[in-house]
Amino acid sequence: MKNILLIILPLLLIVGCEEGPKKIIVETWEDGTPKKADYVIGDWLKGIQQETLRSITYYENGEIIKDENFKAGKLDGKFTGWYESGQKRIEGNYIAGEHTGTWTSWDSLGVETSAAEWFEKGYNAGKNKEYNKAITFYLQTVELDPNYDIYKNLGNAYANRGDLSKAIQSYEKAIELTPDAADTYYNLGNVYTNQGNLTNAIQSYEKTIELDPEHAGAYYNLGNVYANQGEDLPKAIQLLQEAARLGLRGDQE
């Protein structure tokens, strides 16, 4: 009787099997090294919707700037950022695009630094008119604890630096968090005035007065906008008179 050689082959399950994420170089530096790489699933050519699961951004020296995870188009999962030296800068988690849990931050020397400490650094730099430093410190604070005061002060720093578009963005974020913030509407009106966007400036000053009917500065600046437009001088005079009644005159700016 002949011996029968029985060969058992492994069962390969392929039903429902999907390929892992593919790395795509989205941007490069001038020397061709990666500036941003995304890890995606799906394939448009095969009719499968493409989705980014992870994104890594690089400094020009090859060190990682930030490593982000996504779900359904929103930040979701671990977030880590580094300094150009390779020193870890910040780490925390997102759920559906929102901060969650405790975030940790370090300065460039590796010393753990709280949101309050970054905010104080930004505030002191702003007082010394070192607006670039103030912005850097406030941006660190925003990543740890995005709240009204931080966005308001960040807007002030951008405005003082002359970066009006970013000032507007910061003030609008502050207003989203605190919709009844009269002073921030006032600051927003000042930026729109400096930008030459008088329609939005008027709306911002009017909202300031709605929230704070005793805001002399808003009456005064709104009166000046109408006076400079030359379209409604009686209204301009009325607003300037109200500002004076509240204690603000042109020689007191």
The pLDDT assigned to 44 comes to 57
**9 vs 6, 14, 15, CA distance in Å?**
10, 15, 18
Mean pLDDT score, 238-253: 78
Closest Cα partner for 216 from 252, 182, 185, 246? 246
Mean pLDDT score, 180-208: 96
210's enclosing H/E stretch is: helix 198-211
Mean pLDDT score, 110-134: 95
**Which conformational region is residue 8 in: left (phi greater than 0), alpha (psi within -120 to 50 degrees), or beta?**
beta
Which tokens go with 162?
């002359």
Lowest mean pLDDT among 12-26, 74-88, 145-159, 210-224: 12-26
**For 250, which DSSP code?**
G
Burial class (CB in 10 A: 0-12, 13-18, 19+), 139: middle
- Tens-place pLDDT, residues 128-153: 999 999 999 999 999 999 999 999 99
- Which residues make beta-bridge pairs with 75? 70
Phi and psi at 245, nearest 5°, equal -60, -35
Lowest mean pLDDT among 10-24, 95-109, 216-230: 10-24
Which tokens go with 109?
């020397």
The pLDDT assigned to 48 comes to 65
- Tens-place pLDDT, residues 204-232: 999 999 999 999 999 999 999 999 888 78
Give dist(CA 129, CA 142) in Å, integer.
20
Do 119 and 148 touch, CB atoms closer than 8 A? no
The answer on pLDDT for 18 being more than 70 is no
Which tokens go with 87?
């020193």
Q: What is the reported pTM?
A: 0.77
